[in-house]
Amino acid sequence: MKSFKCADMGFSCGWTASASSEKELMQKIAGHAPNHGIKEITSDLAAKVKSKIKDQ
C-alpha cells in the first residue's frame, strides 16, 4: 500500500491518501491539489510528491 500525507509537502493540512499503486495515488493527489491552488502537477512537483510517498 502506498500512502501520502499532504503535511509532508509542507502544507498545514490533515489530508492523507492511500492506494495500492503509485499511479492511483497520484490521481488522488492530483484531485486534492486544487485545494492548495495547484492546478497542474508539473514534473518537478510530481517528483517531489513521489519522494514523499511511503510504502506500507
What is the contact surface with Zn ion in residues (CB under 5 A)?
A: 6, 11, 13, 15
Q: Where are the alpha helices (DSSP H) in 7-54?
A: 22-32, 43-52
Minimum distance from residue 1 beta carbon to Zn ion (Å)? 19
Phi, psi of 14 (to 5 degrees): -95, 10
5/22 with CB nearer Zn ion: 5
Minimum distance from residue 15 beta carbon to Zn ion (Å)? 4
Minimum distance from residue 13 beta carbon to Zn ion (Å)? 3
Phi, psi of 18 (to 5 degrees): -145, 155
